[in-house]
Structure 1
Amino acid sequence: MQKFQDDLELEARGYRREMPRQFSVFSLVALSFSLTCTWSGTGSSLGISIKEASAAGTLWSILVAAVMTGILSAGVAELASAFPVAGAQYYWAFCVSSKEYRAFASYMNGWLSILGWWLASASACNFIASLILSIAYLWYPDYESQSWHQWLIYVGVTWLGVALNTFGSQLLPTFNRCICKQSFQRKPILNCSIHSNMLFMIPVFLACTTLSATTITLFVCSRNNHAPANWTFSDTTNGTGWKSDGLAFILSVSNAVYAFLGTDCGAHMCEEIRNPAKNAPKVILFPVLIGLVTAWPFACSCMNAIVDVDAVLNTPSGVPLIEIYYQSTQSKEASTVLLALFAFCFFGCTVANGTTCSRTIWAVSRDNLMPFSNIWSKVHSGFQIPLNALCLSGSVVSLYGLIFLGSTNAFSAMVGAAVIFLQTSCALPQLIVLWRGRDATLPERPFSLGRFGVAVNFIAVVWVTFLDILFFLPTELPVTKGNMNYISVVSMGLTSIVLALYWFSKRGKYLGPQMPQEVQVNEGRDVEDENELSHSMKKQ
């Protein structure tokens, strides 16, 4: 039986199955799609893109970001196929590194992934709080929002996501399946009840309906009063202050990458799906394509609806999207409904963030990577989820939000820092593979890049290195206290804390994943051992 085979392979890598294999391929693709939430991510950052490279820059940057994210994700998919373990990046870094560096490489990559997920979750919760307040601004123009107002909503959204992950854990696979169309539903792999399937088809169906209805509404309502086509598709006015229009466009591309963040979700959930070596790559790659297909038409409808660019960029609420909705519909009621539905769909990203982040923390804690790992590595027997890890994520995200009370700019830097940490954690194992040689580091796997592997890994590493440098640049000139880029401060500060933690508490104690001797990655023998083990288990 495949289930028994999957558990055997997991045990051969040093772990026993603790989480139920509760996801089908489709439901896990839906979870990944809801987490990347590309069209919603695009809507959350439209104002930045328009300021950096106008309408055309906003639209074409999505295509560039999709292609480059697809290349990076292809390398991630191959690693997930070669090493299908929930630890993902940290486990891959250990397996492909040389003996003397593998523990440190896996430690750093594990923390990069965790920090990236925490920051991404914080950014999603913060934007939902902003959406809620923007509706208040629309109806009550005299309302004066305080920082603590937004923080309280932010905390409420965070813990509502934790609650849904906890009490809806038995129905989670079906909940996320409804992010796509009912027509794509397949027969469930697991013994989920029909009632559960129908219940959780509702939110996904609503997400697809919201996207379609919003796009059509914006086009229809703007048919007699819309932006000129040459502005929508060819205007790249540079509003950054940088002299180079090319750099301004590249900045808008880096902004668009945020919308595709989280494609490694499937790698962290691979212990909850059958035949993960074959199916995890699908879960990683499909959301990139789905994200492009959904985000680009939505962005086109938004650009077409704009008739007053200055009003969009200087909206009192600080959320350009609601101004775009209002300019198109000329109705407070319609704008409120559209934005409320958008916020609900974006909330799905928050729930999925909590799901993936808790699995990441649980996975690395099994190998004592984090302080108090014995606590975070527990799986709750009733809910069958890593509840302690989930609550840790909620607590850290809530505390991080306190920065907002002191500096909104420093808090906003989490978006760029999330991209840096998550993208770097995906690229680092690919860099090691390139350095040591693909044949010397990668075992036999169902999904292989073959002759394109070197090119894909090289482009992915160069792209992420370029992005990391780009995110440290000021987004506007001249630099002032109000527009300063704090990403470098946030990134370097968190990295320094992780390094200090390693030096004073984990150096010499953290040894990495404790795999059985027969599959340990020894110099020049890793591929042979992996292949022999794989063939042996297939015979069984």
Structure 2
Amino acid sequence: MSTTCTDELPVEVGGDGVALDLDNRLARDFSLLGVISLAWNCVNVFGGLSFIFVVGFSAGGLPAIFYGFIGASVCVACMTAVLAECASIFPTAGGAYHFATFLVPQKYRSGVGFVLGWINYLAWTLAAAACYSILSSLIFAFVFETHPDFSLSGRYQLFLVYVAVAIVSWAANLFCLSAIPLLGNIGCYGSMATFVAFTITLLAVSKKADPASVFVDVINATGYSSNAMAVVLGLYNSMTALVALDASCHMAEEIKQPTRMIPKILYITIALQFLVGVVWILAIGFSIQDSDAIINSPSGVPIFELILQGTRSKVAQYIFMVMLTINYIAAAVGCSLTASRQGYALARDGGLFLKTR
């Protein structure tokens, strides 16, 4: 048995063959920049760290976030090398689920493929759900900051917005597929511009925190007596910001020359996200003035309070709110798109409830 690779799909020669429907292919409508934008939006270190940094801030402090992110990036870079190698041989919409399936002995493929396919599919579905939840929170935080007298009379309001966000995201994937690359580019370039603009602004105009609070001092507000336990909990920030790195792998059937392009996109993504993460952590770390006010932000999104403290400008805070919301709109649609491609691959292989062929 041998495996050969084309720019269409991997084709296994000999044995029982790979369980792929080679006549059921997706149109190659995405450009290199389109898939890079998708990968940027799905990984979304800038938006992810902005929203959840307060978790690590109270569990280990900035040192845990900073050093943890560097360590996590090194580990993820090693995984990226493996994904890139596999993507150069098996460019399919199944991504990592297909990589593992094709690399195990023939007799184990059905069992391994079914289990890993469902795990991968559920993981991407939950990643999309997380984006919907964050986007819903951002919408309500924006409303609260612009109308402080507004109050939630019940959690059902947030849930209804969540459902609406999910429906719109999936509708965009069903009926507006041709517009998704444009939306992805808007989200990607907008995120880059926001990152650059607010990094420069915060470092230029904010009162600077003590370097020890960024690189040395451990904060333990977790209730545990052990600082080590607090740091371990704070590492949540570091890994969650990089978990969606394989997004580009699931677009392999919709880009030309995927055997060359997907590995490049993977390396470009991890390099750019690492640079953004390190710089943004330092920018927000040195801009913290009143940590209690940030942690207890009435809007429920602490980064908005941090931006206000650092810039001392409501206008700058509103601009950041708008851009972060746009960033998460693109992330929600991107994660929905990636989850749908993973589900498509699993269904094509007969792993869902009904076979598609």
Whether these two folds match at TM > 0.5 is yes
Checking the alignment, whether the CA contact within 8 Å between 1:57 and 1:235 is kept in structure 2 is no
Checking the alignment, whether the CA contact within 8 Å between 1:10 and 1:85 is kept in structure 2 is no
Aligned counterpart in structure 1 of residue 193 of structure 2, from 209, 228, 232: 209
> Letter of the aligned partner of 2:180 in structure 1?
L
Aligned counterpart in structure 2 of residue 113 of structure 1, from 111, 120, 123: 120
Does 2:255 correspond to 1:247? no
1:169 aligned residue: 177
Relative to 1, partners in 2 of residues 1:325 and 1:281: Cα closer, same or farther, differing over 3 Å?
same
> Letter of the aligned partner of 1:328 in structure 2?
G
Relative to 1, partners in 2 of residues 1:101 and 1:10: Cα closer, same or farther, differing over 3 Å?
closer
Does 2:286 correspond to 1:278? no
What is the CA–CA distance in structure 1 between the aligned matches of 2:233 and 2:9, rounded to whole Å?
A: 47
Checking the alignment, whether the CA contact within 8 Å between 2:9 and 2:90 is kept in structure 1 is no
Does 2:322 correspond to 1:321? no
Deviates more, 1:145-154 or 1:346-355: 145-154
2:247 aligned residue: 265
What is the CA–CA distance in structure 1 between the aligned matches of 2:255 and 2:215, rounded to whole Å?
A: 42
**Matched pairs, number:** 346
Q: What is the TM-score when the length of structure 1 is the normalising length?
A: 0.60
1:85 aligned residue: 92
Does 2:49 correspond to 1:42? yes
Unaligned runs of 5+ in 1: 179-201, 378-540
Does 2:96 correspond to 1:96? no
Alpha-carbon distance, 1:366 to partner = 0.7
Does 2:140 correspond to 1:156? no
What is the CA–CA distance in structure 2 between the aligned matches of 1:94 and 1:139, rounded to whole Å?
A: 51
Alpha-carbon distance, 1:87 to partner = 1.4
> Letter of the aligned partner of 1:109 in structure 2?
L
Relative to 1, partners in 2 of residues 1:174 and 1:11: Cα closer, same or farther, differing over 3 Å?
farther
> Letter of the aligned partner of 1:34 in structure 2?
N
Does 2:18 correspond to 1:26? no
Does 2:78 correspond to 1:71? yes
2:60 aligned residue: 53
Checking the alignment, whether the CA contact within 8 Å between 2:65 and 2:237 is kept in structure 1 is no
Alpha-carbon distance, 1:174 to partner = 4.7
What is the CA–CA distance in structure 1 between the aligned matches of 2:244 and 2:188, rounded to whole Å?
A: 18
Deviations for 1:147-196, whole angstroms, at most 9, x for unmatched residues? Answer: 112112212222222233334322434543x3xxxxxxxxxxxxxxxxxx
Aligned counterpart in structure 2 of residue 297 of structure 1, from 254, 271, 279: 279
Alpha-carbon distance, 1:284 to partner = 2.1
Relative to 1, partners in 2 of residues 1:125 and 1:8: Cα closer, same or farther, differing over 3 Å?
closer
Greater relative contact order (Cα 8 A, min sep 6): structure 1 or 2? 2
Relative to 1, partners in 2 of residues 1:11 and 1:347: Cα closer, same or farther, differing over 3 Å?
farther
> Letter of the aligned partner of 2:8 in structure 1?
D
2:325 aligned residue: 343
What is the CA–CA distance in structure 2 between the aligned matches of 1:203 and 1:237, rounded to whole Å?
A: 34
What is the CA–CA distance in structure 2 between the aligned matches of 1:172 and 1:119, rounded to whole Å?
A: 20
Checking the alignment, whether the CA contact within 8 Å between 1:229 and 1:304 is kept in structure 2 is yes
What is the CA–CA distance in structure 2 between the aligned matches of 1:16 and 1:76, rounded to whole Å?
A: 25
Alpha-carbon distance, 1:91 to partner = 2.1
Deviations for 1:136-156, whole angstroms, at most 9, x for unmatched residues? Answer: 332343432231121122122
What is the CA–CA distance in structure 1 between the aligned matches of 2:249 and 2:232, rounded to whole Å?
A: 29
> What is the aligned-residue identity percentage?
27
1:6 aligned residue: 7
What is the CA–CA distance in structure 2 between the aligned matches of 1:168 and 1:288, rounded to whole Å?
A: 28
What is the CA–CA distance in structure 2 between the aligned matches of 1:23 and 1:322, rounded to whole Å?
A: 34
Alpha-carbon distance, 1:10 to partner = 5.5
Matches within 5 A, 1:130-529: 130-145=137-152, 146-176=154-184, 178=185, 202-222=186-206, 225-374=207-356
Checking the alignment, whether the CA contact within 8 Å between 1:130 and 1:150 is kept in structure 2 is yes
> Letter of the aligned partner of 1:339 in structure 2?
M
What is the CA–CA distance in structure 1 between the aligned matches of 2:189 and 2:92, rounded to whole Å?
A: 31
> Letter of the aligned partner of 1:136 in structure 2?
V
Alpha-carbon distance, 1:347 to partner = 1.6
Alpha-carbon distance, 1:226 to partner = 3.2
What is the CA–CA distance in structure 2 between the aligned matches of 1:277 and 1:247, rounded to whole Å?
A: 43
Deviations for 1:331-360, whole angstroms, at most 9, x for unmatched residues? Answer: 333212211111111221111101111111
Checking the alignment, whether the CA contact within 8 Å between 1:125 and 1:350 is kept in structure 2 is yes
Structure 1 SS opposite 2:88 = helix
What is the CA–CA distance in structure 2 between the aligned matches of 1:6 and 1:295, rounded to whole Å?
A: 33
Relative to 1, partners in 2 of residues 1:235 and 1:22: Cα closer, same or farther, differing over 3 Å?
same
* RMSD (Å), alpha carbons: 2.3
Deviations for 1:100-140, whole angstroms, at most 9, x for unmatched residues? Answer: 43211111101111111111111111111111211233234
Mark the structure with the bigger radius of gyration.
1
1:531 aligned residue: none
Relative to 1, partners in 2 of residues 1:360 and 1:332: Cα closer, same or farther, differing over 3 Å?
same
Checking the alignment, whether the CA contact within 8 Å between 2:9 and 2:91 is kept in structure 1 is no
Checking the alignment, whether the CA contact within 8 Å between 2:248 and 2:265 is kept in structure 1 is yes
Relative to 1, partners in 2 of residues 1:373 and 1:311: Cα closer, same or farther, differing over 3 Å?
farther
Structure 1 SS opposite 2:63 = helix
Alpha-carbon distance, 1:5 to partner = 5.1
Checking the alignment, whether the CA contact within 8 Å between 1:10 and 1:17 is kept in structure 2 is no
1:127 aligned residue: 134
Checking the alignment, whether the CA contact within 8 Å between 2:195 and 2:280 is kept in structure 1 is yes
Unaligned runs of 5+ in 2: none
What is the CA–CA distance in structure 2 between the aligned matches of 1:270 and 1:87, rounded to whole Å?
A: 9
What is the CA–CA distance in structure 1 between the aligned matches of 2:34 and 2:217, rounded to whole Å?
A: 40
Alpha-carbon distance, 1:233 to partner = 2.4
Relative to 1, partners in 2 of residues 1:81 and 1:244: Cα closer, same or farther, differing over 3 Å?
farther
